[in-house]
Amino acid sequence: MAEMAAAGLAEGIAGAGVRVTPVEAGRIWLVSGVEMPANTVAGGQYWLAPGRVLVVGGAVPEGALVSEVGDGFVVLDIGGARWREILAMAGTLPAGALEPGMCAQTLFAGVRMLIAGRDGGIRVFVERPLSAWLLDWLRQAATSFV
């Protein structure tokens, strides 16, 4: 969470109907060699493509190829009454594509990331080197609602 502190957002962003909260995701693994439909979320497993899954904080399937990638990501929850407007400002992915249990790899504010639907908002996985830029973008986007 050093990026959050460095960007002055250690507590996240709150106000004007937008809430951005850092998530301590624990260990994150990229797993290959298991099958489930792409763009789905189940029990901390974010299915990226056939045979590829991002496992967050849970058990890794046996017999799969595993890479620990947790240090490479910052995870944020974006919610509040206006999270759909933030999503619309950030790109072309419709909010309906991100119902709870669904995810997508897409551009969000010009940055490639994984976005997953959750009750009352979205969870984003951004590459650590790009997180300070994204946090600044989110802060500026939230001020547009004031």
What is the residue extent of each domain of the chain? 2-143
Q: How confident is the model at residue 119 (pLDDT cuts 50, 70, 90)?
A: very high
Residue 25 confidence (pLDDT) above 80 = yes
CB count, 10 Å around CB of 3? Answer: 19
**Looking at domain 2-143, which of 1.20.1080.10, 3.30.70.100, 3.30.1360.120, 3.40.50.300 is its CATH number?**
3.30.1360.120
pLDDT at 6 over 60: no
What does the alpha-carbon distance between residue 97 and residue 17 come to, in Å, rounded to a whole number?
21
Mean pLDDT of the chain, nearest integer: 87
Length of the chain: 146
The two three-digit tokens of residue 104, written as one number: 């997508």
Structural tokens at position 9: 């957002």
pLDDT tens for each residue of 7-24 = 444 568 888 889 999 999
- Taking only the tens place, the pLDDT of each residue in 51-98 is 899 999 878 877 789 999 999 999 999 999 999 999 999 998 888 889
